[in-house]
Amino acid sequence: MAPFDPRSLYEWLTDRVSPRTRRNLRSELDSSLLAKLGVGILIVVLVSAVFAPLIAPWNPTAQTLDDKQQPPLGFSRAETQVSQEMVDGEVQIVEETEYIDATVAHPLGTDALGQDMLSRVIYGARTSLLVGVLGTVLAMAIGVPIGLISGYYKGRVDDALMRIADVSLAFPSLVLAIALVGLFGQATVNVPDPFVTSGLSEFLRGLVSLPGGLSYPPGMPETFALPGTVILVVGIVNWVWFARVARGEALGVSEEEYVTASKALGGSNRYVIRRHILPNSVTPILVLATIQIAAIILLESSLSFLGFSGANLSWGFDIAAGREYQTTAWWIAAMPGLAIVITVIGVNLVGDWLRDALDPSIEGEGGGV
Amino acid sequence: MTERDHELLEVSELRKYYATDDSVLDRLLGRSSRSVKAVDGVSFSVAEGETLGLVGESGCGKSTTGETLLNLTEPTDGAVRFDGQRLTEMDGASLSRFRERAQIVFQDPFSSLDPRMTAGEIIAEPLVIHDREGDNRERAKELLDRVGLSPGQIDRYPGEFSGGQRQRIGIARALALDPEFIVLDEPVSALDVSVQAQVLNLLDDLQTEFDLTYLFIAHDLSVVRHISDRVAVMYLGEIVERGPVESIFENPQHPYTQKLLESVPRAETGERGRRVDALRGDVPSPRSPPSGCRFHTRCPYAREACREESPESVETGDEGQQAACFRAVDTHPYWRSVPLDHADAADEEPTASGDD
Amino acid sequence: MEDILRVEGLSTRFFTSDAQVNAVESVSFDVRAGEILGIVGESGSGKSVTALSLIDLVDSPGEVTAGQLWLRNPPLAESYPEAAHEDGEFVDLRELPDRTRRSLRGPTFSTIFQDPMSSFNPSLTVGEQIAEAVEVQRRASATPRSTRSRTDGYGLGSYLLDGIVPGRAYTDDASHERAVELLEQVGIPDPDERAREYPHEFSGGMLQRAMIAQALAGEPDVLIADEPTTALDVTIQAQILELLREIQADRDMSVVLITHDLGVIARMCDRVAVMYAGEIVERGTLGDVFDDPVHPYTQGLIGSIPDLDDPRPRLQPIEGNVPSLRADEMGDRGYFADRCPKAMEACLDPQTERSCDDPEHAARCVLADDAYDPATALPDDYFEEGSDD
């Protein structure tokens, strides 16, 4: 693997963002509390996802049946045990109620198999974000070029491409996704976790000592299951939205005189699309992308919930698993559910921030000498 | 035509029809659609170094003519020759060469510049497209300076400039490749009077400095008179009169040109109370243009002959002046046909009528 | 001729989140009975805002901040002594209650705008909309100064009822007949038929005529025409200008004609006010302003127009650009000084209006009563530094 320098990535990114855009992004972030909140949420989710083996207190797949269904901090659970006893020659039914209190070791409780909920929620962020981001990227990669071509060339090309899009839109996305999963199978790719295989997580966790003499329990899953089919499926299901938005933008932008001007200068169609149509369509596409990330996180959860995902460390999967304990251990489903809600809100807030900051019309008109 | 300098651009019988009401269903069923005849058989030529003014009211097809002759929209019919070579016969390389030699400046200084590019990037765009060697940024600075902007403004975005300054950027972009011919499509009509005068002076200077040939499209007759050497007047997709600028403005032959000139309010005290016999009615829709002479529905001299037959352009009046009107031919049957109902300007015995 | 409207020291400002814009700055002029007064200026000069200020139609964040708008109306002066001028003839419009002021729109002030297409409701016929204007005036004159009676029976409830019960319209047959009559007066052929058509079936010129008909419904004393021909072609413009002049002469109305086109001003107006950066820089009769301009801006404006009958080789434009009018960028200096070819040290202070030899003729310029003094002229690059950002 080539040596990776984060500074060069930063420079590459800022080269692509004009100083004006950077200024707008900053001032919009400064002035909007909601934007700050959204960015904050996303950073927490992102850090959890990337550094999960370093942050998660327990191995999320380690089952300790003795500690199963522990409540989260601040709650307790009553477990009634019914037994039959012989008292004076008669069989009596004895109910014994046992109160199980929360422990600091499992702040969000444990599930039915005694797996630590906090660790599972942290690891679940990986699946959700990876599927959300990669699925959106795939949907964009398919949808945006189709939409731009459709809107730029108009006519027959447009008719043909948009009819295909209409047909795809006619299917409910979940049904289509299930059909596609059925078609492709539940392929997952096991990606080795670099933090674990390099021994880094083990080393770092050994350094930390927790109050009360506790130490981080060792051992983290060495691989991470990436639900490949799901990513493929959400990409195929969601490209239409990108195609439609990109087409609408391209239709509008291609009527602008600077596009005619560029053609008059001899710019080829490919050049015009790349240089003028795409940059001027990018804001609504980016905003749509954030909405789509949120939607795809939800779709992934639905697929996991229904058991079509193949990933066993995912918010949706845990909600499904927690469903049967709804009455006795609500947190098994509620904790990952809360994680989904907060993440989706965060992504949407970031989308609003981008939409407000990237609108080129907010820069004042003329007047300067 | 009399002895002229080298003709840089020759347009003959140019036509551009737009299909309308063309839904998918229509296309599938193979229905023929009604077309808008935006440009209908327009011929003219522009000699090297001169300015031809193309003037007309909105919807007369003057801008479509400009875009069609640069091949920005495909002509329906007709031929455009640039420097002797037919545009439709050009291959990739010579079309690219043509795009370097012929440029266009647009009317709207707001929509003609990409809001996401800096002034420098906009001006250097033609250099990038045509892979010119050398320092694009330096060249952009040079051009900014030439059109009267400060080279220090090179990294600003169009939103930070005023309308007049944006139009200067558009002109700088058109100049970047050292073109010979520029189509100026209403370049000053979106600007305020004082800024308009600055830009007109700039265009004047640039023409002298770089030996440019202009096709100046405008609806403002005073501006056309100021900048043009020759003028062509368009009405409903056709050229009704053309000729040297003095002949058109001092001795107009076509009734439309006459009425157009009469309508323009002069900015002088004598204008107050000047009796203007305004042209009546509206421009008919180009979707269903009138039969015969297209002007006959509004023409004060219209007779039966005008409704039946479409007039050819004939030499009239001064040298090089041509008008498409029967009245230019003394022997035409027009003179023996009956005036139409609305035609009130009986020219042999002028009356004071004109009110409704 | 007697004054019908006297504007004194009118200022209108816009307060946006990041700037205060002085759109109209201490403007004074008068409108006389039966005259056409022209207000000419470039975009952003404040001419349209001035017109909107007269009829109290400045939208938020704009606000009329100073000045008096004296309207000659003795009955009103009697009813509202607190708003009346000491001579008992004039009332200050700004001191009148909003409702009374609104009731003046129609019978006293009527307005026509630049874009007739967006001034009509696309879903009602043109006849219906003009008839409505007639009806509003009819009801207003039946019970003067009551807004309620004018809009009576025109709320949401009756709107819904109209949809169900046929023939329950706000307008009646008499108003419709009057509307057709007005359409005929503005030169629309087949007015009976055209009244039943929708705005999109009209051409730009015809719709502008219809808007004039609508404005005439209230038989106004003052017609404010804001760029009435700017969107029109030159032959149609000639028709509309002709129509406006006929109507003005027939009814002896006053017209305030706002335009950027000096040619239109020359054809139509008796007196002219030239606006620049929110101020009236020069005013006078047509002859004063066109043949004997004092202010260098007026001179520059006239020098910028290519003359149709005498094409001079070179235009004499005003250098520079129209200022932004933001209070923080404008400061206190004389507004035109940075573009003025004859700027002197005295021009750095804000200028007040000075009258020239002729009592009608006034200019907001040192040159009105002092000669140009090259000794105190500002150097060419005086305004250059610091102009960036």
What residues does each domain of chain C span?
1-108+221-334, 125-218
- From chain B, pick out residues whose CB is under 8 angstroms from the CB of C307: 222, 226, 266-268
Q: Give the residue among B192, A118, B45 at the shortest CA–CA distance from C230.
A: B192
Give the mean pLDDT of C223-229.
92
Task: Check whether C316 has a pLDDT greater than 70.
Answer: yes
pLDDT at B5: 67
Residues B131-175 have pLDDT tens digits of 888 899 999 999 999 999 999 999 988 888 888 899 999 999 999
Q: Could you write out the DSSP letters of every residue in C71-102? A: EE-HHHHHH-GGGB-TTSSEEEGGGS-HHHHH
- B70/A280 Cβ within 8 A: no
- From chain B, pick out residues whose CB is under 8 angstroms from the CB of C237: 263, 265
Q: What angle is formed at CA C310 by the lines to CA C276 and CA C295, rounded to 5 degrees?
A: 25
Confidence of residue A264 (pLDDT cuts 50, 70, 90): confident
pLDDT at B352: 37
Confidence of residue A369 (pLDDT cuts 50, 70, 90): very low
Task: Check whether B354 has a pLDDT greater than 50.
Answer: no
> B135 versus C161: which is more confidently predicted?
B135
Classify domain C1-108+221-334 at the CATH superfamily level: P-loop containing nucleotide triphosphate hydrolases (3.40.50.300)
Burial-class residue C85 by CB neighbours within 10 Å (0-12, 13-18, 19+): middle
Give the mean pLDDT of A276-304.
87
Residues C166-194 have pLDDT tens digits of 554 566 788 889 999 999 999 898 899 99
Confidence of residue B25 (pLDDT cuts 50, 70, 90): low
Runs of H (alpha helix) within chain A: 6-16, 19-31, 33-50, 52-55, 117-153, 155-170, 173-184, 194-197, 200-207, 228-253, 257-264, 269-272, 278-305, 315-322, 331-358
Give the mean pLDDT of B35-43.
89
Contacts of C218 (CB under 8 A, 6+ apart): C105, C106, C107, C110, C133, C136, C137, C140
Best to test chain A binding among B116, B153, B160, B161 (most A CBs inside 10 Å)? B116
pLDDT at C163: 59
pLDDT at C384: 61
pLDDT at B346: 54
H-helix or E-strand containing C223? Answer: strand C222-226
Best to test chain A binding among B114, B125, B217 (most A CBs inside 10 Å)? B114
Q: Which two tokens stand for residue B214?
A: 């202009």
Confidence of residue C334 (pLDDT cuts 50, 70, 90): low
Q: Which one of B113, B126, B165 has the shortest CB-CB distance to A258?
A: B113
Write down the mean pLDDT value for chain C. 84
> A5 versus A245: which is more confidently predicted?
A245
Give the mean pLDDT of C297-312.
85
Sign (positive or negative) of CA dihedral A333, A338, A343, A348: positive
Give the mean pLDDT of B46-62.
92
pLDDT at B329: 84
Confidence of residue B180 (pLDDT cuts 50, 70, 90): very high
Confidence of residue A216 (pLDDT cuts 50, 70, 90): low
Say which amino acid occupies A271.
Y
Min distance B263 CA to chain C CA atoms (Å) = 5
Residues of B with CB under 8 A from a CB of A: 24, 27, 67, 70, 72, 95-96, 99-100, 103-104, 106-108, 111-116, 118, 125-126, 129-130, 156-157, 159-163, 165-166, 170, 173, 177
Give the mean pLDDT of A131-137.
91
pLDDT at B128: 92
Contacts of C384 (CB under 8 A, 6+ apart): none
Confidence of residue C161 (pLDDT cuts 50, 70, 90): low
Runs of H (alpha helix) within chain C: 47-54, 74-79, 98-103, 116-119, 126-142, 147-150, 156-164, 173-185, 191-194, 204-216, 234-251, 262-268, 286-291, 296-304, 327-330
- From chain B, pick out residues whose CB is under 8 angstroms from the CB of C303: 197
pLDDT at B1: 42
Q: Identify the closest residue of chain C to A365 by CA–CA distance.
A: C324
The answer to whether residue C320 neighbours chain A at the CB level (below 8 Å) is yes
The boundaries of every CATH 1.10.3720.10 domain in chain A are: 24-70+106-368
pLDDT at C386: 45
Give the mean pLDDT of C211-228.
92
Return the partners of chain B (3 or more C-beta pairs < 8 Å): A, C
Give the separation between CA B69 and CA B46, rounded to whole angstroms: 12
Contacts of B139 (CB under 8 A, 6+ apart): B123, B124, B127, B132, B176
Give the separation between CA B96 and CA B100, rounded to whole angstroms: 7
Best to test chain C binding among B192, B233, B342 (most C CBs inside 10 Å)? B192
pLDDT at A173: 79
| DSSP-derived secondary structure letter, B331 | T
pLDDT at A202: 77
Give the mean pLDDT of A10-32.
77
Give the mean pLDDT of A113-139.
89
- From chain C, pick out residues whose CB is under 8 angstroms from the CB of A368: 324, 388-389
Residues C22-42 have pLDDT tens digits of 889 889 999 999 999 999 998
pLDDT at A1: 43
The interface pTM score, or ipTM, of the predicted complex is: 0.84
Confidence of residue B108 (pLDDT cuts 50, 70, 90): confident
**How many CB pairs below 8 Å do chains B and C form together?**
139
Q: Give the residue among C258, C223, C185, C217 at the shortest CA–CA distance from C109.
A: C223
| DSSP-derived secondary structure letter, C377 | B
- A367/C389 Cβ within 8 A: no
- B274/C287 Cβ within 8 A: no
Classify domain A24-70+106-368 at the CATH superfamily level: MetI-like (1.10.3720.10)
Confirm if B335 and B346 have CB atoms less than 8 A apart.
no
Confidence of residue B34 (pLDDT cuts 50, 70, 90): low
Confidence of residue C263 (pLDDT cuts 50, 70, 90): very high
pLDDT at B187: 93
Residues B82-103 have pLDDT tens digits of 998 998 888 888 989 999 999 9
